[in-house]
Amino acid sequence: MARAGNKHKREILSQRKVMGAVADLHSLSNASGLKQDESEAKSDHDGCAAFEESAHTNAASVADPLVPPLDANTRRDAIIDASPASTLLCDRDYIVWEANAKFLDDFCLTKDDVIGHPIAAAIGKKIFERRKPSIDQALSGESTRLLEWQTDRSGARFILDISHVPLRDRNGEIVGTIISAIKASEQQELKQRLSMYREVLRQTTDRVGVIGTDYRYRFCNDANAAYHQRRPEDIIGCHLGDMIGWDLFEKHGQEKYDRCFAGESLEFDLDLTKEGQAPEIVNVRMYPYREGEDEITGAVVTIRDITGSALMAKEMRRRAREDALTGVYNRYALQERLEELLANASQKGECAALLTIDLDNFKVVNDLAGHAAGDALLCQIGEMLKAFKVSHGAMVARLGGDEFALVVSCLGECGAKEIGRQIVSNIQTMRFDWGGSVFTVDASVGIAFLDGKNIGANPVAPGDLMKWADQACLLAKETGGGRTLVFEPGNREMAARQAHVGNLKVLQQALDENAFCLFTMPIEAIDGSARVYHEVLLRVAGQDGQMLPPAPLIVAAERHGLMPKIDRWVICNVLQRLRAAPEDLRLSVNLSGQSVGDPAFKDLLLEKLGQYPNLASRLSFEITETATVRSMATAQALIRALRNRGCGVILDDFGAGLSSFAYLRQFEIDCLKIDGSIIGDVASDEVQRTIVAGIVAVANKLGIEVTAEFVEDRETMDILRELDVTFAQGYFVGKPVEWIVPGIT
């Protein structure tokens, strides 16, 4: 049956072969490919039939007919094969019955591979499925044309012009289709590209325009026209000043366009917010528009609305520079301001003063009224200090704990002393009411004065100013408090104080001599899982061999930028020791805020972990909330990288100042460690217990474990167990002990 069907199809093909070839040649005769429609194809068929009947009649009446050198089939095959178009014929069942040499060459096929086989086998199933609707349209009697991008064997891109023409028998019935494809001309390709570019410009949400050197619109896309509530054709020829407003044109526009007309490309952000209206911030890009031989005849301008991202970036910068508790600037912003002042002092000889304020008797408020009261008092003092911003243009910052700072530019020594005395007086007369109890505190102020006239001979860094102000403040505090002192390099008391503290020198010496010591402190599960891990603690021995208190050393290291170096030392030594330690030992290592914000430290840490991949799962890293907020993007990148390597991540000091909830969901962490200031009173303070319960509830929702610090007794441990806290750390669990590994010193 199949053979009989094929034979029948070949008989149909031979009956229509002349007509098909003529239709094929006719469709190839125009430059853009096969364009004839159904009526043209039918006309060709009728013309061919009439021509053949006339030829037979004339041949019968002529005695000596002219005999062509080749038979009709050979002539038709030669013409089809010589065509530059890739051509094939198929029937209504999509079976190929003829293919020319160009088609066979393009697809690297032979006639045996194609004739009698489905089209999908010849051109590929995906191509067939894409073109089948057009083939079916031709089989229904309507000629079709497609333009498709293709890639040749060399990888070059070109446009393929594809035609589908109905194929009719002598009775006018459609028995198949002629498919022909030819590369489009360069002109057609340019038209196609131009059409594509126009469509892109039409659909883009960016505002695009071309402004001539006469400041008039030469082109305006739909988005730009819609912004001005006009049609594009209504804007062409309009002056830029009439469109954006003459004030904006004269203040910002004309100068920048003149630079662009001179050959400069520009990019800038512009705040277009009008009073009483919603914010509007845009990004503007301007490029010279050239015609002819590089002659600049205008500027291509694209305007993108970045209001949302700009406001978000502004808010992130504010958070990174602002103290979360008091709303004044933080240490990071203070250092930036000091750098600006030093640059101005060096270039212009300006003066400036840095005042550091340390509260006296602040611990009494925390001890008697609780840390919530202490936080409220700090906020009240922050508001009082903000008044100096209005009166003296001062910058107010919180350094940490109960320490604040003021920076005042263009102020002499006498003026700085007067501000210091006002601050001390204001704090002394302040009455802080909490729960019916009234508290008073005092303050010591240290001043570091910067004289721009003398800075050239003695280079000064921001850390130097902070160190000088701190030394003056500490001396004021030690000599009774409630007073203001100016740093004087030749003052014997200050020199003695500097020699006595010497924290910076101790730290630098420990780094140089590899003299740090590592201790570990146990952290024990209280949820019944019997899990234990240890926090690694850094210690430095004094001249008498006793370990120095860590807090002053950490403050000194942070103020003088040594923490990244110290953290590097800790990482290298922890990994070396952990290789020789028991396999069940799990550790947590603290990372300072300076290290978290340092991309170079991140690279070193990941490199070291890469050298010991089998140790990563035994390590967790503790990062404070302050560090994550101050360096949000860097912290998130570091956290992701550590988790990808199998390390745990712990958010340390959680709940300090009750400001951590806003950031908790932004970081992928495994555990959070509740600050000891909350845990210390949890046994006697119902409010603190409620706070811990709330933290645990949030952590449970996020799938995060909870560790409590400063667990000093059995009562606290039992309460924490009732509150579903996961881990406990404190002297009740275990004190720090020196980490000694056999064979490693």
Per-residue model confidence as pLDDT tens digits over 436-475 = 888 888 999 999 887 766 555 567 788 888 888 988 898 8
Which pLDDT value is given to residue 1? 41
Confidence tier at 190 by pLDDT (50, 70, 90): low
**Which runs of E-coded beta strand occur in 152-294?**
157-168, 174-183, 207-212, 217-220, 266-271, 281-291
Write out pLDDT tens, residues 626-647.
666 666 788 888 999 999 999 9
Confidence tier at 66 by pLDDT (50, 70, 90): very low
Q: Max Cα separation, the chain?
A: 141
Write out pLDDT tens, residues 565-621.
999 999 999 999 999 899 899 999 999 888 888 888 889 999 999 999 899 999 999
| CA pair distance 289, 637, nearest whole angstrom | 41
* Assigned CATH topology for domain 329-499: Alpha-Beta Plaits (3.30.70)
- 117 alpha carbon, distance to own chain's centre: 54
The answer to whether residue 26 scores a pLDDT higher than 50 is: no
Burial profile 577-610: b = 16 or more Cβ within 10 angstroms, e = fewer:
bbeebeeeebbbbbbbbbbbbbeebbebbeebbe
- Which range among 225-239, 402-416, 489-503 has the greatest average pLDDT? 225-239
Confidence tier at 491 by pLDDT (50, 70, 90): low
| CA pair distance 97, 455, nearest whole angstrom | 94
Structure token digits, residue 51: 């021509």
| CA pair distance 647, 254, nearest whole angstrom | 56
Which CATH code of 3.30.750.80, 1.10.10.10, 3.20.20.450, 3.40.50.1360 fits the domain covering 505-738?
3.20.20.450
| CA pair distance 708, 675, nearest whole angstrom | 7
Confidence tier at 309 by pLDDT (50, 70, 90): confident
Structure token digits, residue 448: 């570091």
Write out pLDDT tens, residues 230-250.
999 999 999 999 999 898 898
| C-alpha distance from residue 569 to each of 280, 547, 555, 649, 736 (Å) | 49, 18, 18, 20, 19
Do the first three CATH levels of 2-183 and 204-305 match, i.e. the same topology?
Answer: yes
Of the two residues 453 and 711, the one the predictor is more confident about is 711
| CA pair distance 128, 146, nearest whole angstrom | 13
**Which runs of E-coded beta strand occur in 279-342?**
281-291, 295-305
- 454 alpha carbon, distance to own chain's centre: 44
The residue assigned the tokens 């720090």 is 736
pTM for the whole thing? 0.40
Which pLDDT value is given to residue 40? 40
* Assigned CATH topology for domain 2-183: Beta-Lactamase (3.30.450)
| CA pair distance 494, 487, nearest whole angstrom | 8
Contact yes or no for 670/706 (Cβ under 8 A) = no
The answer to whether residue 44 scores a pLDDT higher than 50 is: no
Q: Which long-range contacts (CB under 8 A, 24 or more apart) does 630-634 make?
A: 630/320, 630/330, 630/332, 630/593, 630/597, 631/320, 631/593, 631/596, 631/597, 632/316, 632/319, 632/320, 632/666, 634/596, 634/597, 634/598, 634/599, 634/602
437 strand-pairing partners: 434
The answer to whether residue 728 scores a pLDDT higher than 80 is: yes
Write out pLDDT tens, residues 662-689.
667 777 899 999 988 889 889 888 988 9
Which pLDDT value is given to residue 628? 67
Contact yes or no for 486/449 (Cβ under 8 A) = yes
Which pLDDT value is given to residue 39? 40
Average pLDDT of every residue of the chain: 81
Which pLDDT value is given to residue 3? 42
Which CATH code of 3.40.640.10, 3.30.450.20, 3.40.1590.10, 3.40.50.150 fits the domain covering 204-305?
3.30.450.20
> Per-residue pLDDT averaged across 201-210, rounded?
85
Q: What are the boundaries of each domain within the chain?
A: 2-183, 204-305, 329-499, 505-738
Specify the amino acid at residue 64: D
- Provide DSSP, 497-537: HHHHH-HHHHHHHHHHHT-EEEEEEEEEE-SSS--EEEEEE
| CA pair distance 9, 11, nearest whole angstrom | 5
